[in-house]
Amino acid sequence: MRSLFLLLCFTFAVGLAAQVQGTDSLSPRLDTIQVTPVKSQQAVLSDIEKANQAPRPKFNPTKAGLYSAVLPGLGQYYNRKYWKIPIVWGAIGTGIGVTIYNDKMYKRYREAYIAELNGLPHEFSDIEGITKEALGRTQDRMKRQKDYSVAITGLVYILNIMDAVVDAHLFDQRNDPDLAIKPTIIYDPFGLHNSKAGLSFNYKF
């Protein structure tokens, strides 16, 4: 009976020691938990300085201007401003289309005006009230519209070159990675107006 009692005490002591040892084995894991320190303002400013000093690709303003002069939008492609290419093509393409239309209408009324002066039939002969004065005024108006569309298209072409040159020149300037101006879509939260294209000013803290 005494031997059995000693055996039970020994078994209980071994089990208790094993539990204590298992609990202690977890303590190193709890001690290894690390907390990431919050960066100070000086550290953030230092990171910005390093980002500004990092090497970035350089663009030649002369090349960008020449590329846009040869093919509108090519300078923007050279400057890696790909989102501007559809805008340039759309603006110049619209100007060319309007110019072609106005030129076609001018020639149409011009031929009718000359035919009216010579007493010959033309496409507007069957319309009542069409006189040489009316045809003359209409052809003059279409000529003015054609001249305006040519001037506006030429202005857009020049702006395309200037945009490429300015982008290439300013790319070398200091850039804060936490500041950015990007194109965006402006939504109306109340649904009263349609969405509009615009620019967003982003600042990261």
Q: Where do the structural domains in the chain lie, given as residue ranges? A: 53-176
* 76 touches 82 (CB < 8 A): yes
Q: Is 127 helix (H, G, I), strand (E, B) or coil?
A: coil
pLDDT, position 171: 72
Is the whole model's pTM more than 0.75, yes or no?
no
Residue 203 in tokens: 């600042």
Averaged pLDDT, 112-125? 85
pLDDT, position 74: 93
Contacts with 156 (C-beta within 8 Å, 6 or more apart), sequence order: 88, 91, 92, 95
**What does each C-alpha distance from 118 to 47, 108, 112 come to in angstroms?**
81, 16, 10
pLDDT at 149 over 70: yes
Band (pLDDT 50/70/90 cuts) for residue 173 is: low
pLDDT, position 57: 64
What is the average pLDDT score of the chain? 76
Q: Is 39 helix (H, G, I), strand (E, B) or coil?
A: coil
pLDDT in tens, 72-105: 999 999 998 899 999 999 999 999 999 999 999 9
Averaged pLDDT, 41-62? 69
Band (pLDDT 50/70/90 cuts) for residue 123 is: confident
